[in-house]
A = this chain, B = another copy of it.
Amino acid sequence: MRHKNVEIVAEKCALQEILDVIGGKWAMSIIYALFSGTRRFSELERMIPGINTRMLVKELKNLTQNGIVTRKVYPTVPPTVEYTLTPKGRKLEPSIAELYKWGQEYVK
């Protein structure tokens, strides 16, 4: 099973972005929550116990900049903002669902 020639793995650009997207403490929770459909800011806040406003804002901004979610603002009073996964974001579903399964199988 050992190879004599050691191939170089992990070209950094791809890895960098993957960790940018799912490496944050709350990122996977948010993406996971959005798998079930479009959500408002306050809905996400309630779906993810333990997160606080600052973290949710920050992570959503990051995910938006990375093209994972879109942010739609309705000019109502009080304001309404909805977050939805982009196609790029939805393509994360299989991997993240698998990771969740893994985590549940091996939780101590």
Contacts and interface: CB of A to CB of B under 8 A. Distances in A.
**Which secondary structure characterizes the binding site on chain A?**
helix
Contacts of A19: 23, 25, 28
Interface residues of A, number: 49
A18 B102 contact: yes
A104 B88 CA distance: 12
Interface stretch (A29-37, A53-61, A72-80): A29-37
A107 B16 CA distance: 10
Interface in A44-94: 46-50, 67, 88, 91-92, 94
Contacts of A7: 36, 47
A18 B103 contact: yes
